[in-house]
Amino acid sequence: MRGDAGMKRILCYGDSNTWGTRPDGLGRWEKRWPISLKEELGEECAIIEEGCGGRTTVWDDPLEMHKNGRTYLLPCLHSHRPLDAVVIALGTNDLKCRFSLTPYDIAAGAGELAKEVLRCEYGHGYPVPKVLLIAPAPLGNNLMKSPIGKLFDEYAVKKSCLLAEEYREMADALGVEFLDAGVYAVTGEDEVHYDEASHIRLAKAAADKLREMLADD
């Protein structure tokens, strides 16, 4: 069973880089990657944007209690069903120093979200969506000089460079698809949020991967 007159429905579940936060602090990119993804995939797909600034994978934030990605995921899946694919693009906020997490911990958190998608009971006739796990692009080298650098410590950049391999291994272990945002995206002047061209490149790469994933449906 599929909604929206047979359209394939894709949920993009992420943080401020999914919401489209601009690195210059001037609001939101109009051409953020979920919007560009819709343009790439065309009218046969419905793209559902679920980006929230500060969202973690599975960790409670003592300062922003509503930002735990696991807490909101299950109601989000039920609200937007039927779904053909779920794109999970989280992990950058897990690098904040108040969480003290290793790259493996962060990838494991993302993996827990993927498991949640796969084991969720969607109801009679609704498919279990396929999962695309996107590792966040590395933080910029000048992070500690950024206005938002105080949220991180001196190890955050190095940790961010190790995420892609941990995410790849997690995706392989779970049998879900993987994409390394760092191949396509770079951060802008705040060293955390993607520049506009990066959103477009990432959308093209995600579109190619999703076409492969959904080709047999």
Give tens-digit pLDDT for 126-172: 999 999 999 999 999 999 999 999 999 999 999 999 999 999 999 99
The C-alpha atoms of residue 96 and residue 139 are separated, in whole angstroms, by 11
Which pLDDT belongs to residue 23?
98
- Residue in the block written with tokens 């590395």: 138
Mean per-residue pLDDT, 65-86: 97
Q: Where are the domains of the chain?
A: 8-209
Q: How far is CA 111 from the centre of its chain?
A: 12
Pick the CATH number of 8-209 from 3.40.50.1110, 3.30.428.10, 3.40.50.1820, 3.40.50.150: 3.40.50.1110
pTM of the model: 0.96
Please give the helix or strand (H or E) that residue 161 lies within, else none: helix 156-174
Which pLDDT belongs to residue 3?
54
Q: How confident is the model at residue 2 (pLDDT cuts 50, 70, 90)?
A: low
Joined together, the tokens standing for residue 12 give: 């993009």
Q: If you compute the radius of gyration of the chain from its CA atoms, what whole number of angstroms results? A: 16
Q: Is the pLDDT of residue 15 over 60?
A: yes
The C-alpha atoms of residue 21 and residue 28 are separated, in whole angstroms, by 5
Joined together, the tokens standing for residue 1 give: 């069973």
Mean per-residue pLDDT, 205-210: 98
Give bridge partners of residue 68 from the DSSP assignment.
56
Cis peptide before 23 (omega within 30 of 0): no
